[in-house]
């Protein structure tokens, strides 16, 4: 049952929301203001004039798109199996997959480095794609599986009676109905991959293979640092993901709430 809020309750709630928003907005405003100090637009021109900057953008875009595509394929198939197919040990295997939610990425850095080195992936795109996909599976699998659980089993039973196989039910019923949650996964995964700093720092030592999050370090030297240009680089890095979030916000809200009501 929904309860109509009183005016005082609305004012208190809106005040708390504004306070929470200020916690996030104030640092962003400071970031933009500080990026213009010293040289103004020249700070941004200095970042854009870096000869490596186009390569940084290209590398980040390639890695992010590949991570999204690979993760979407793996998670959608896995969620379909855990949600709509029954096999021995499915609950135990799903619980085992969720263990990754309790392990921070920093704790996995050393074993990941040895794994990447064993596969000869150092200074390659796979050193950034593989670990990112692996560490993103637990959370995204949980969201997609809960969304798939909302799809009525009667639809799949009707399709099976019409002669549709497991693959046919997946492509013609599951995927069309799961567009909101899959879109949410794409946006979240792209944002996380674009903002990834740890893996390029650990697995990449060639300038031509670095991602856009490494651009600020070119303005931090051993004895001198130009933090105005560093802030300008951070603003430029943030623009694509802010635009992506603005256009995909409604899909994210719908996808994240799917599976919440049974």
> Residue 4 domain-assigned?
no
Give me the tens of pLDDT residue by residue for the chain, a chain 262 residues long: 456 767 777 788 888 888 888 888 888 888 889 889 888 888 899 888 888 899 999 999 999 999 999 999 999 999 999 988 888 888 888 888 888 888 888 888 899 999 999 999 999 999 999 999 999 999 999 999 988 988 888 888 888 888 888 888 888 888 888 888 898 899 889 999 999 999 999 999 898 899 999 988 888 876 777 888 889 999 999 888 888 878 777 766 665 555 544 4
CB 60 within 8 A of CB 194: yes
> Residue 1 domain-assigned?
no
> Residue 131 domain-assigned?
yes
Helical ranges in the chain per DSSP H:
7-36, 41-48, 53-84, 90-98, 109-118, 126-149, 153-161, 166-169, 175-177, 179-194, 198-203, 227-257
> Residue 20 domain-assigned?
no
Q: Report DSSP letters for 110-126, one per residue.
A: HHHHHHHHHTT-TTSTH
pTM of the model as a whole: 0.85
The CATH number of the domain holding residue 161 is 1.10.3720.10
> Residue 56 domain-assigned?
yes
CB 259 within 8 A of CB 146: yes
Domain range for 172 is 30-257
For residue 43, count CB atoms less than 10 angstroms from its CB and return exposed for 0-12, middle for 13-18, buried for 19 or more: buried
> Residue 67 domain-assigned?
yes
> Residue 192 domain-assigned?
yes
> 57 in the Ramachandran plot: left (φ > 0), alpha (ψ -120 to 50) or beta?
alpha
The number of folded domains in the chain is 1
CA-to-CA dists, residue 53 to 47, 48, 189, 194, 208, angstroms: 7, 6, 22, 14, 9
Half-sphere exposure of 99 (CA within 13 A, CB side): 7
């Amino acid at each position: 049952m929904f309860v109509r809020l009183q005016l005082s309750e609305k004012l208190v709630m809106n005040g708390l929301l504004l306070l929470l928003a200020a916690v996030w907005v104030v640092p962003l405003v400071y970031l933009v203001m500080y990026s213009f100090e010293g040289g103004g637009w020249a700070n941004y021109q200095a970042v854009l004039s870096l000869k490596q900057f186009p390569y940084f953008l290209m590398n980040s875009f390639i890695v992010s798109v590949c991570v999204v595509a690979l993760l979407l394929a793996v998670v959608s198939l896995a969620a379909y199996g855990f949600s709509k197919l029954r096999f021995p040990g499915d609950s135990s295997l799903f619980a085992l997959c969720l263990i990754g939610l309790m392990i921070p990425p920093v704790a996995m850095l050393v074993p990941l480095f040895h794994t990447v080195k064993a596969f000869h992936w150092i200074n390659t795109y796979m050193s950034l794609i593989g670990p990112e996909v692996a560490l993103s599976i637990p959370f995204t699998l949980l969201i997609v599986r809960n969304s798939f659980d909302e799809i009525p089993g009667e639809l799949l039973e009707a399709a099976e009676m019409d002669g549709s196989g497991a693959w046919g039910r997946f492509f013609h019923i599951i995927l069309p109905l799961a567009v909101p949650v899959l879109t949410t996964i794409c946006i979240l995964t792209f944002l996380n991959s674009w903002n990834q700093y740890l893996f390029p720092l650990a697995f990449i030592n060639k300038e031509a293979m670095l991602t856009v999050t490494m651009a600020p370090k070119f303005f931090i030297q051993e004895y001198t640092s130009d933090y105005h240009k560093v802030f300008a680089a951070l603003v430029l890095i943030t623009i694509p993901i802010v635009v992506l979030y603005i256009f995909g916000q409604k899909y994210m809200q719908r996808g994240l709430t799917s599976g919440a009501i049974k």
